[in-house]
Amino acid sequence: MNRVLTESARSNGASGLQPEAASPLVEVDRISKVFDVSAPWLNRVIERKPRQLLQAVRDVSFHIARGETLALVGESGCGKSTVARMLVGLYRPSSGRVIFDGHDLAEITGDSGLALRRRMQMIFQDPYASLNPRWRVARIVGEPLQVHRLIDQPLAMRERVETLLAQVGLSASDADKFPHQFSGGQRQRISIARALASEPEFLVCDEPTSALDVSVQAQVLNLMRALQRDRRLTYLFISHNLAVVHHVSDRVGVMYLGSIVELAPKARVFSAPAHPYTRMLLDAIPDISMSGRSRTPVGGEVPNPLNPPTGCAFHPRCPHANARCRSETPQLRDPGDGSQVACHAVEERRISAPA
């Protein structure tokens, strides 16, 4: 898996683009999301149970430059997909702001909001569940063109759909088929074509290759990189697979229990990870080169988000935790190399970057 995906990765930016130095296209300012997971009201009254609130995302901040790929990684349940859905408006943040090209998404309504949201699209994890099984591909891919009133004429719509299918490696005749007639990789290509239909600038990719075979993953990832290069797209890439992240990202944000614990350029994360959790994730990647380097396997389980630990959420699994870690929540700080790390042990220099 690692060799298939990483041998062709560029060492100085996987996208092959130089992110523009102007103001960021996407800015996320301390967003949080709380879900009410309480039992029904009558049950709570009869059984005298209190309301239960689950904080899925906690004060997450980052920015994405134009033409850049930021990857969010972490174990299942860490809040990656919730962040993705807040960025495209599927969830409304409980607090904080999502700013796209200088506009606060919460303040945009009506036609202006529709025009702004046309510039961002999402590619979902399961390419079959995200496609309507009763619709032919022509209608699936053409739906954004209708919703955003970009094309009205049926003939022009058909020509545009066929062009989009060709751009993702499918044929014009595929427009008349149903989703069940395609393989998993082909269905994901249809999802990408639909996402590209409205000519977006920003794509949120939520585990777009996790349901695919290894060889098909490489094909889809190479397609996405080529589209980014040709269209100057900006990506937020969600994944738990660090080999995939190494292939596509420019910067990496590591999430744990709803918070970002490390945010740094890809080269720094993979060569000198600072946070103990990042190190444990990297140690879980098979060592194909058999370097003999000592490795610490990921131990323990992610805590229950309904009852998170006090202090640093990672301290029950961290070999470097002390009394401060168990009582005080660490904040993201720059250790001196331009990155951001939320770790008392790094701040106090009790652990150093690996060679």
Any domain includes 149: no
Any domain includes 251: no
pLDDT in tens, 61-109: 999 999 999 999 998 889 999 999 999 989 999 999 999 999 898 887 7
Q: In 3D, which of 223, 231, 166, 238 has the Cα closest to residue 202?
A: 231
What DSSP string describes 76-144? Answer: TTSSHHHHHHHHTTSS--SEEEEEETTEEGGG--HHHHHHHHTTEEEE-S-TTTTS-TTS-HHHHHHHH
Return mean pLDDT, the chain. Answer: 87
pLDDT in tens, 119-156: 999 998 888 888 999 999 999 999 999 988 888 899 99
Q: HSE, CB side, 13 Å, CA atoms: give it for residue 204.
A: 22
Please say if the pLDDT value at position 355 is more than 70. Answer: no
Please say if the pLDDT value at position 9 is more than 60. Answer: no
CB atoms within 10 A of CB 87: 22
Any domain includes 279: yes
Query: Across-strand partners of 50?
Result: none
For 116, phi and psi rounded to 5 degrees?
A: -70, -40
DSSP H helix total and E strand total for the chain: 13, 11
Q: How many folded domains does the chain comprise?
A: 1
Element (H, E) at 205: strand 202-206
Please say if the pLDDT value at position 15 is more than 70. Answer: no
| Burial annotation 88-121 (CB, 10 A radius, 16+ → b, else e) | bbebebbebebbbeeeebeebeeeeeeeebbbbb
- 321 to 212, 229, 282: CA distances (angstroms): 38, 43, 19
Among left, alpha and beta (phi > 0; psi -120 to 50; other), residue 141 is alpha
Q: In 3D, which of 105, 93, 31 has the Cα closest to residue 61?
A: 31
Any domain includes 296: yes
Any domain includes 309: yes
Alpha-carbon gap, residue 249 to 10, rounded angstroms = 10
Provide the pLDDT for residue 353. 58
Residues near 155 by beta carbon (within 8 Å), at least 6 away in sequence:
none
Q: Are 254 and 262 in contact (CB under 8 A)?
A: yes
Provide the pLDDT for residue 243. 83
Q: 343 vs 243, which has greater pLDDT? A: 343
pLDDT in tens, 213-240: 887 888 888 989 999 999 999 999 999 8
Any domain includes 16: no
The range of the structural domain enclosing residue 338 comes to: 273-355
Any domain includes 126: no
Q: Which amino acid is at 214?
A: V
pLDDT in tens, 236-274: 999 988 888 998 999 999 999 999 999 999 999 999 999
Please say if the pLDDT value at position 6 is more than 50. Answer: no
Q: Retrieve residue 162's tokens.
A: 């066929």
Q: Are 120 and 198 in contact (CB under 8 A)?
A: no
What is the three-class DSSP state of 176?
helix
Q: Which amino acid is at 235?
A: Y
Provide the pLDDT for residue 84. 94
CA torsion, points 143, 144, 147, 149, in degrees to nearest 10?
-110
**What percent of the chain stands above pLDDT 90?**
58
What is the three-class DSSP state of 171?
coil
Residues near 225 by beta carbon (within 8 Å), at least 6 away in sequence:
14, 15, 16, 248
Any domain includes 325: yes
